[in-house]
Structure 1
Amino acid sequence: MINAWEAVRAAIDAEDLAAIAALLTGFDDAQRREVARELPRYLPVAEQAGERADRERNRRREVRWRELTAQAEEAGVSIWELPEGYAMMTHHQHVGVRWIEPVRVAGAGAIAGAAAVASWLSKPRLVRRRARADLDEIPPILQVVAARPAAWQEDLAVRLALRLRAARPRPDDVRVRLALALLRATGAEPPRHDPLTLAWVAAATAAELSADPLLDAMVPRLFEAEGVGRLLRDDRELGAALARLSADGRIKRAALLDGCRTRFLRGGEAADLRFFITLHDLLDPAAEEVAPHVRDYAAMLALPAANVADLALRQLRRLKATPPAEAVESLLFRSEGRLVRAGLALLDRVLKEPSEDVDAYAPALAAALVCESAEARGRAVKLAVKHAGRFGPDAVGTIREIVPMLPPGPGAALAGVFGGEAVPAPPRPRFQPQPLPAVPEAEPMPLITHANVLARVTLREFDWMQPERWLDGFVRLASDARRESLIAELAPLAARNLEYRWGPWWDISDWAAALARELMEPGAERRAMPDGRADPARRVPETAHAAMWRLMPLARFAEVYQSMLDGRMPPYLLATPTRVNGLLDAEALVERVAGYERDGVQALPLDLRQALLRLGRGSVTADAVRRAARLATPAGRLVHRWLTDRPADPGVVLRWTTHEGDPRVEAELVLGPEYAELFGDLLVPRPWDEACELLLPVLAGHRELAAAISVYSLMSTWPMNKPTARDLDRLVLADGPGGPGLALLLARHLLEGPDGDGVRPLLLLAASGGVPGAELGRQLAVLLKRGQDRPADAIAALAEAARLGAHREVWQVMTGLLPAYLPGPGERANSVHTRLMRLAAEVAGWAGARGEVPAVAELAGRARTSELVRQARDLHTLLTAPA
């Protein structure tokens, strides 16, 4: 007779789920008891064996990875270009132990009681949060459970369903999958348990919904369980699928509509009710379906969620009947301007009815008179004045009490009819501009002048300054009387093991070691190569495979190394920054090039290109220009050209795109011939983000290019190198005109409000004359139109910057923001537009602005009068008045 436990254990060790299920379904009760008795004691053994197998699988994978790496190097291609290598890099997940599923299947088939099986399957050490695609336990567990009595199966299904706890379950959670699979397979009545409903929602797919045995039981619970709306906030499939099933008769349409109404009346956050509103809209109830529920929809008007009130208002309007009085009052007591305006329209209709008792509406009208929306307040004033004769003494007194609470204009209009004292218009305060802050100057770059200091420098990947100082110090010390001291100090570095034949060299310290060894042992690399040739350029990473901030220092080290091999290393470098922010002063560059001419030294090409990219425009003096005019070498003439007739800066065009659904901002750089030659292949497209902090020192004289490249990941939700507020500060203190890239980054931080990280950079740019005004306005409009939910904060930030002295620059921002953000013909205005126009009018007055803005002129010329139109007319009058 077969030894039951030995057979099952062998199948567990073999990780064979099918064999375990087959054995247990064929065992009798005694054999199952034997397995159930031994299984818990075997858990530690199974776990250890599984971990050993896991390590072995990982070892085999690492061996294969090294084989593929060698193949790629031999073929001279990247490992990404090998199909197997690409698959291992992009689709690999941790192998993971595989002992869990076998012991779960064994327990489900061997343990006697349903409660005990549920406990076994719920043991924390036996629960894998996500199901494995290559080791599906559900079919074998269903197989072993099917051998039990029907009542036992249903009991287990219900027990596992009641053990679900997650508020945001994942469809690949093994607990979710197993509980739902057992309920479907056994036909058990799903228990009323909110986490079960959430699990069913999370796992539901539109294509399989109609055939789901749980559909009829679970649909009503969508409207009862807590958390369903939160889980379905961004649903794009389930609501449409339910609407289709109702149209096909699979689900009762009336049940869905009743469920939606019930859910609305329970209240909740607007976002949590979004799914149910979408479902209600998809069902699109006819007037005869709405009419019996008028009081329900009227009650929804008072609910906090504005989207529910909007839905209810639409349904009540479709009935074309006079709404109940409480519906009108509910709207007028709301804070949302559009709903108050809708309530006023309904109230106007009611007040026109001679039979209505209008005094009952006076409190609601009073609430509308003091609502937040200026446009709604204006309409309420007109409505009160229009129907003043119909109000009795008590109602007149109620409205009269509101008069002192209103702004001067509306208050005066009401006081003329209802009496009371309106607030007088305050005198307009005179604007006193504050001085802009002083722009701090970057500290001088500390150079290395002693060999022992150079030897102690640590070269780190993400520290741009130390490699710059090391390379500059090495070249200088190796070229003068301190050479022998340098050789002695760098002896430990020169002893480093170097693989000259292998590349690329990504570690900057490898290049430093090669320089040190060549200094100590001239010809060391040529002697180490089989063909006696040295070719350091082939060890520089390919341009498309390295970020610019990383590639430039590696390429410059390689260039200096090549010049050393060729016996033409210069006595010092041209591109070493004079400032700690990467900038190179013009006088220093002219002096270095002049020294090259005196000594007959030829400039290294990449070193000269880097120097021009770092050249500060603000450091150009008349003396530097005169001295540069006397330079005769090609490098000298080029530097003189850049000091006197610098080529037009590259143009920048930003394009919003996505990568796998994640937002990205791609920069297209438009280069003239001089810049195309200067950059060469440095600007090839790269499939990743650039760290602004490290890129800026390479492009210190061209901050717009650094900003434009680094905003690629600005709005990404992925863990990428996103430009920060500290990066914005660095860009402000760099050099070069700003453009769309700098404007977008500054706009992003202006959304943080007056206390955020955008106001001070704007003030510093204003002090240095570097605000890309209209472009900043356009980029701010782009962010606001793309759903950034802080327009009021951005307006407050601009107001604060204007008050602190940047009023002229803020007006320039408005010239780009107003045309791009204001509503055009047929578009709907909101209170943010009104606040923006009010601030624009105020700042234009401070700045003494003149000149028509077409978008403002169009608004000012509209026939309909609103607060926005009134503000536009005031601004247009100011801009077109004589200077």
Structure 2
Amino acid sequence: MTEEVLEAVRQGRPHEVPELLGALEAAEREALPARLKAIRAEARGWGWEQGERRRRVRHALLVAGAGCHTGAAATASWIGARDLRDRQAPPHQLVLSVLRGRDPRWLGDVAHRLAGRAATAREDYPLIHGLVQRSGCPVPVADGYVHGWVDSVARKRVLGDLTADPQAPVLVPRLFRTAALSDWLVWQDGWVAALAGLPEAGVVTREVLVDGCVARLLRGGSPSEVRFLLELLRALELTEEEEGARTADWAGIAAHAPSASAAHAQAVLGRLAMAGGLSARQLAEVSSSVLFRAEKKLVRAQLVLVGKALRRDAGAAGELLPVVAEVFGHADTALQERALKLVGRHLDGVGPQVRAALADSAAVLLSPAHRAAAVEVFGALPEPEGPGAAYVELLPPPPEPRPLAPAAEGPELVEEVAALLHSFDPDAMDTERALDGLVRAAHDDPDALREALLPLLPGLWWYDGGLLEARHLRGAQLFAAALAGRVGLDELRLPPAAPGRGYCFHERLAHVPLARAREAAFRALTDPLPFLLATPTWRTGGLEPSVLVERLAAYRRLGVRPGTHDMAQALLRVRRTGPGVREAAQAAAARGPGGGGRRGGGGAVGPGGGAVGGSRAQAPPPRGA
């Protein structure tokens, strides 16, 4: 029977595995994991053309290994292994069937170990939940399990049943403590009403929901998360006592949270202040933080609130006006004017010491445009003292250009390429460095480069299929796909079709680096370049003329014809004004024909701008060149 189990696994028939395992003796099961690991190692080496077979074998391995391991840690490690998964959900029901009859405490241990695996717990929620039900163990509260529960509830699309969910009392408080709120929770309609109805049903208390929302707002979050939390707070309709009990929290949100959260907290604090729930000192402390914020809307609203508080209690001017005076230094002169008018209306309510401090603040902080108005409020103002006290209109210094680091090599290059392959929007200059490093490595030892890159490719959307069109890939992805044989030479040989009028300007601009990357990949497979000419020397994308002249001289010395698109982009990027340009032009002219133009090197122009019959460079210049 052992061989029958292994044959079912090799043939990728996971549905046959539970019955076959059930017929084995304990000793036979214990001997299976070692042989299953051998099949697992073999499957890792299968190419993209065996993708469907690999998926079925992975599922069969997952079921068989789960039923054969005896230790909870080993079982959870096997089930959660990334190399036994693919884009389809694992066969959770089959795994549950092979674990039938195990000790409940053992099942609970496996469930909690799986729930603690952040990478797979959300996907494995159906399996973990089934183990929890069988074992009767406590409900896991790890982030992945909480998100999986939200997914499960959301798919039912009947959120009113949340009151009958036995896990809700445990998991609802955890909704607000996860590293990020679940997408289903934030975007699916109905969650606010369902959660707001739980206290009345006795599932959780109001304090759990209110404290969870407030604590989450204090942490900050994305605009969609903030919107959801504020909607839930409004649906709960907090009483004045509930709002007053959290005064310190509202103050922290108003001071540091995103604008939407801060505006809500500001409104709550305003209601408390008008109801006498905030002392003058508390309002001054809150205002000191809010008036320091850059959002003009919040600053204006706080000045209005302070004005209302002063009309209600003129004796609070000594506490509040010094805080208002901080707005004299705000970048917006309209807010400076508003603060000056507010101080002027209530200046009679402060003593001589406070008045003098306010006048000093006005003299130092206010814009010169408001000095005349400040003199009307305070009388004569003290003149600024010190050599830098006089107001001078200055522009900020221009940013210093940063050089682009030389291309990486060896393991560092592989790490950078791995990051770019999995990046949705890679940085342009990081792509430039990596592309230059790939070109150099392909020139030195293309087989070693291919061997280093291949382990990075499984799992990428373009790797497991057939041949691709080059237009679907960019930069390092296109180069790696060409080395891995996913983009054919015929495809690379063709010049990329220029986007027509119907395309946006982003597509038209992307055509330029795409053509150059296609050319570099084609040359790497036919006549490798020692390095690229157009790699910028500055992170702004600029290329120093002296560097371009040296690179062209190295090409000429090595007998290499530049790539057409690479040379064209180098000429577009090279700096044409400023120091060193004339000297670089003279140096290029002194080198004679081929030292600084498009026509260096020997051999006819091949497809993609490559050199056919030209000599292959033996030693590229230093990476700083």
Q: TM-score range by the shorter chain?
A: 0.5 to 0.7
What CA distance in whole angstroms lies between the structure 1 residues aligned with 2:144 and 2:368? 56
**Cross-structure match for 1:142:** 96
What CA distance in whole angstroms lies between the structure 2 residues aligned with 1:349 and 1:102? 71
**Alignment partner of 1:336 out of 295, 304, 309:** 295
- How far did 1:10 drift? 3.9
* TM-score for both structures, normalised by structure 2: 0.55
Structural mapping, 1:475-624, within 5 Å: none
**Cross-structure match for 1:300:** 253
The one-character-per-residue Cα deviations of 1:754-792 (angstroms, maximum 9, x if unpaired) are x999xxxxxxxxxxxxxxxxxxxxxxxxxxxxxxxxxxx
**Alignment partner of 1:309 out of 241, 262, 279:** 262
What CA distance in whole angstroms lies between the structure 1 residues aligned with 2:54 and 2:242? 55
**Alignment partner of 1:38 out of 32, 36, 40:** 32
Determine if contact 2:328/2:362 at 8 Å carries over to the other structure. Answer: no
- How far did 1:402 drift? 2.3
- CA change 1:756–1:55 in 2 (3 A) is closer
**Alignment partner of 1:118 out of 73, 76, 84:** 76
Instruction: Write the letter of the residue equivalent to 1:321.
Output: A
**Cross-structure match for 2:607:** none
Instruction: Write the letter of the residue equivalent to 2:215.
Output: T
**Cross-structure match for 2:354:** 395
Instruction: Write the letter of the residue equivalent to 1:104.
Output: L
- How far did 1:106 drift? 1.6
The one-character-per-residue Cα deviations of 1:411-463 (angstroms, maximum 9, x if unpaired) are 2212222231589999999xxxxxxxxxxxxxxxxxxxxxxxxxxxxxxxxxx
SS in 2 for 1:420: coil
Select the structure with the greater relative contact order (CA < 8 A; seq sep ≥ 6): 2
- CA change 1:357–1:50 in 2 (3 A) is closer
- CA change 1:396–1:409 in 2 (3 A) is same
SS in 2 for 1:131: coil
**Cross-structure match for 1:766:** none
**Cross-structure match for 1:841:** none
SS in 2 for 1:142: helix
Instruction: Write the letter of the residue equivalent to 1:98.
Output: R
- How far did 1:111 drift? 2.0
- 2:171 pairs with 1:218: yes
Structural mapping, 1:344-423, within 5 Å: 344-354=303-313, 356-404=315-363, 405-418=365-378, 419-420=380-381
**Alignment partner of 2:498 out of 684, 688, 694:** 694
**Cross-structure match for 1:154:** 108
The one-character-per-residue Cα deviations of 1:132-189 (angstroms, maximum 9, x if unpaired) are 4xxx510111122231121111111011112x134xx795x4x455445534554432
The one-character-per-residue Cα deviations of 1:701-746 (angstroms, maximum 9, x if unpaired) are xxxxx3xx222x85xxxxxx3545979xxxxxxxxxxxxxxxxxxx
Instruction: Write the letter of the residue equivalent to 2:254.
Output: L
**Alignment partner of 2:192 out of 240, 248, 261:** 240
Instruction: Write the letter of the residue equivalent to 1:139.
Output: Q
| Structure having the higher Rg | 1
SS in 2 for 1:352: helix
Determine if contact 2:114/2:128 at 8 Å carries over to the other structure. Answer: yes
- How far did 1:292 drift? 3.6
Determine if contact 1:205/1:238 at 8 Å carries over to the other structure. Answer: no
- How far did 1:36 drift? 2.8
Structural mapping, 1:150-299, within 5 Å: 150-162=104-116, 164-166=117-119, 173=123, 175=124, 178-183=127-132, 185-198=134-147, 200-201=149-150, 205=154, 207=157, 210=162, 212-225=165-178, 227-229=179-181, 235-237=187-189, 239-240=191-192, 242-243=194-195, 245-246=197-198, 249=201, 250-266=203-219, 273-287=226-240, 289-299=242-252
**Cross-structure match for 2:88:** 131
- CA change 1:356–1:428 in 2 (3 A) is closer
What CA distance in whole angstroms lies between the structure 1 residues aligned with 2:508 and 2:193? 39
What CA distance in whole angstroms lies between the structure 1 residues aligned with 2:172 and 2:369? 55
- How far did 1:397 drift? 2.0
Runs of 5+ consecutive residues of structure 2 not aligned to the other structure: 395-494, 514-539, 543-625
- CA change 1:235–1:394 in 2 (3 A) is farther
What CA distance in whole angstroms lies between the structure 2 residues aligned with 1:230 and 1:393? 57
**Cross-structure match for 2:61:** 103
What CA distance in whole angstroms lies between the structure 2 residues aligned with 1:333 and 1:427? 23
Instruction: Write the letter of the residue equivalent to 1:353.
Output: R
Q: Cα RMSD over matched residues?
A: 4.1
- CA change 1:394–1:103 in 2 (3 A) is same
Determine if contact 2:46/2:54 at 8 Å carries over to the other structure. Answer: no
Determine if contact 1:183/1:189 at 8 Å carries over to the other structure. Answer: yes
SS in 2 for 1:228: coil
The one-character-per-residue Cα deviations of 1:228-275 (angstroms, maximum 9, x if unpaired) are 249689634474364355377254433211211233345567776454
- CA change 1:232–1:317 in 2 (3 A) is farther
Instruction: Write the letter of the residue equivalent to 1:34.
Output: E
SS in 1 for 2:246: helix
Percent sequence identity is 27
- 2:514 pairs with 1:710: no
The one-character-per-residue Cα deviations of 1:190-238 (angstroms, maximum 9, x if unpaired) are 445445445555665262662654332222122233x224968963447
Determine if contact 1:50/1:98 at 8 Å carries over to the other structure. Answer: no
**Cross-structure match for 1:15:** 12
The one-character-per-residue Cα deviations of 1:588-641 (angstroms, maximum 9, x if unpaired) are xxxxxxxxxxxxxxxxxxxxxxxxxxxxxxxxxxxxxxxxxxxxxxxxxxxxxx
- CA change 1:259–1:50 in 2 (3 A) is closer
What CA distance in whole angstroms lies between the structure 2 residues aligned with 1:204 and 1:233? 10
- How far did 1:115 drift? 2.1
The one-character-per-residue Cα deviations of 1:30-87 (angstroms, maximum 9, x if unpaired) are x13312312322443476589889957x8xxxxxxxxxxxxxxxxxxxxxxxxxxxxx
- CA change 1:327–1:48 in 2 (3 A) is closer
Matched pairs, number: 399
Structural mapping, 1:639-658, within 5 Å: none
Determine if contact 1:329/1:343 at 8 Å carries over to the other structure. Answer: no
**Cross-structure match for 1:612:** none
- CA change 1:110–1:238 in 2 (3 A) is farther
Instruction: Write the letter of the residue equivalent to 2:503.
Output: S
